[in-house]
Structure 1
């Protein structure tokens, strides 16, 4: 199931390499501001939730931006039948951010 949302991206991290056991890894993680559940009265404010966004090359498209920034993000919610995972399909920085970046070049 795909859906889009306007979000505040707090940071990104790319990682690529190989573990000692030979397992190869290559990914980008995106950290998105997420509101804490205040329903119980024991939490208030925001935290960050991380989402997988393809391989480490995806980081290169955004590393020149100032963080945090606002963007429209397309998510894909998938399930194995017992566990759900939400991944990022695409990120489009808001026009304000993109315009500021273009002006700097």
Structure 2
């Protein structure tokens, strides 16, 4: 199931290399502010959840935003399952610029 969602990205990290047993690893993780489940009245507020965003090269696409964290983005996401458990993955992020205040174009009082 694919969908788009506006999210608050609080962090990113990538990992790439080879473990001692020869197994290769290559991934980017995105940390997203996510509402805690308050349905049982045992939690409130938000926490950061970790989502996969492909391979380590994805991290490089957002490296220029280092001074902008946290930032809002539109995420293309998908819920996938192996038949027993499900997880949500992010396929792409499109950062959303914060609205800038409108410049005053009118005449000033007393002018």
TM-score by length of 2: 0.82
Aligned to 1:44: 44
Aligned to 2:106: none
Deviation at residue 96 of structure 1 after TM alignment: 2.9
Give 1 or 2 for the bigger CA radius of gyration: 2
> Equivalent residues in 2 for 1:51-70 (5 A)?
51-65=51-65, 66-70=68-72
Deviation at residue 95 of structure 1 after TM alignment: 3.1
Alpha-carbon contact 2:72-2:97 (below 8 Å) kept: no
Query: Distance between the aligned counterparts of 2:36 and 2:24, measured in 1?
Result: 34
**1:90 partnered with 2:92:** yes
**Structure 2: tracts of 5 or more residues without a match:** 101-111
**1:5 partnered with 2:8:** no
- The 4+ residue runs of structure 1 with deviation greater than 4 A are none
Aligned to 2:79, which of 66, 77, 80? 77
Deviations 1:40-77 (A, max 9, x none): 22211110111110100111111221110000001011
Q: Secondary structure at the match of 1:61?
A: helix
**1:17 partnered with 2:17:** yes
TM-score by length of 1: 0.87
Kindly report the root-mean-square deviation, in angstroms, between the aligned alpha carbons of the 2 structures: 1.5
Query: Distance between the aligned counterparts of 2:37 and 2:78, measured in 1?
Result: 22
